[in-house]
Amino acid sequence: VIDIRKLYGQGDVFTYDPGFTSTAACDSAITYIDGDKGELLYRGYPIEQLAEKSHFLEVCYLLLYGELPDEGQMKDFEARVTNHTMVHEQMHYFFRGFRRDSHPMATMVGVVGAMSAFYHDSTDINDPWQREVAAIRMIAKLPTIAAMAYKYSLGQPFVYPKNALDYPSNFLHMCFAVPCEDYVVNPILSKAMDRIMMLHADHEQNASTSTVRLAGSSGANPFACIAAGIACLWGPAHGGANQACLEMLREIGTVENIPDAIRRAKDKSDPFRLMGFGHRVYKNFDPRAKVMKESADEVLDLLGIHDNETLKVAKELERIALEDEYFVEKKLYPNVDFYSGIILEAMGFPTSMFTPIFAVSRTVGWISQWKEMIADPTQKIGRPRQLYIGQTRRDYTDVAKR
């Protein structure tokens, strides 16, 4: 705690906390994390129980409204989401303005930001009904937008949503179906996708969620706020870690190369870090990583992939790192991204789609947090302060005298 008045004679007592390592910026009743125990609860329910017994759309309902739905509420919610899966036809032209080789995250930032130009009737944040419609639109349309970004990058035609399918199957259908061929969604892949979505649905005040809240605190419309969240998620220290992690595992290649990777990760003069390792809050196992590891085994087994070199490298890397003094001392454990890439690759996704899938899954968390903030009558614009370390006051000099 620094008395800022002593520094430049104004204001109040300020805290200086770069990276917000010990500052709560809001109160929230949505997600609870105990980083020391490795515990994650959505609205009080443990993530392990939800991953085993629930499904993604039910988790969406839970995060948005605070309670698990009864049968009627679930049916109604599913119908409302399904009703909104298509995107405005004009948006197809918007996609076509991008280069084909754009990263799908780049396309998504632009297209989601542009939603506020297409859906004017759900941008008034003071109207609770418009906020509700915006939330449903976002949850319903993000899979369509991510799949369109993917199809566009492949040079293939867009695939419209098939609303007879459930949420994860519909997403897989839009990504993998091609004209002139029948595509039947593999139920194993659909279940695995559903689980990945549940595990990524919310994670309290991480960088992208805080970005959404900060953008929203100015009264910006919800589509603009979610676009800001997507932009933040893209970074390799956050959601981009799932792509970076699989690329790292591939680069390591074989178990013989692991000791060298561990050596590099410990060397402070080398920027190399073990991607998928470490977390700001978890100083124990990330509970999502445990479920993800089991899922990786299950999915590869069910798909008949028994000799996956990347999975072998991942498991051995985890084993060696967890016995290494450096990682033990710094409490660095695998995080959610360590195993997710292996599952997504087995499903047929290229690495460039890993972070868009994270964005699709996290949309419900972002929008739930945004709704919670807007409904709070004590909410203020987010406005961090700074410690100024620049020049003291000085007079302007004419260019001839510089």
* Binding region for ligand ACO (CB under 6 A): 19, 237-239, 241, 265, 273-280, 330, 332, 335-337
The residue behind tokens 């104004």 is 10
Catalytic site includes residue 173: no
Which residue number, 84 or 273, has a Cβ lying nearer to ligand ACO?
A: 273
Nearest residue by C-beta to ligand ACO?
Answer: 278
List of residues 6+ apart from 85 with CB closer than 8 A: 140, 141, 143, 144, 161, 163, 170
Which residue number, 229 or 239, has a Cβ lying nearer to ligand ACO?
A: 239
What's the min distance (Å) between Cβ of 117 and ligand ACO? 30
What's the min distance (Å) between Cβ of 88 and ligand ACO? 31
Which residue number, 95 or 318, has a Cβ lying nearer to ligand ACO?
A: 318
The residue behind tokens 């004209």 is 179
Catalytic site includes residue 120: no
Instruction: Point out the catalytic residue in the list 55, 337, 395, 398.
Output: 337
Which residue number, 170 or 209, has a Cβ lying nearer to ligand ACO?
A: 209
Axis-axis angle for helices 241-252, 337-347 (nearest 10): 80
Instruction: Point out the catalytic residue in the list 200, 203, 279, 286.
Output: 279
The residue behind tokens 């897989």 is 172
What's the min distance (Å) between Cβ of 180 and ligand ACO? 38
One-letter identity of residue 74? M
What's the min distance (Å) between Cβ of 342 and ligand ACO? 14
311, 342 contact by CB (below 8 A): yes
Could you tell me how far CA 196 lies from the centroid of its own chain? 11
What's the min distance (Å) between Cβ of 347 and ligand ACO? 19
Instruction: Please give the span between the terminal C-alpha atoms of the chain, in angstroms, as a whole number.
Output: 40
Which residue number, 84 or 280, has a Cβ lying nearer to ligand ACO?
A: 280
Which residues are catalytically annotated? 279, 337
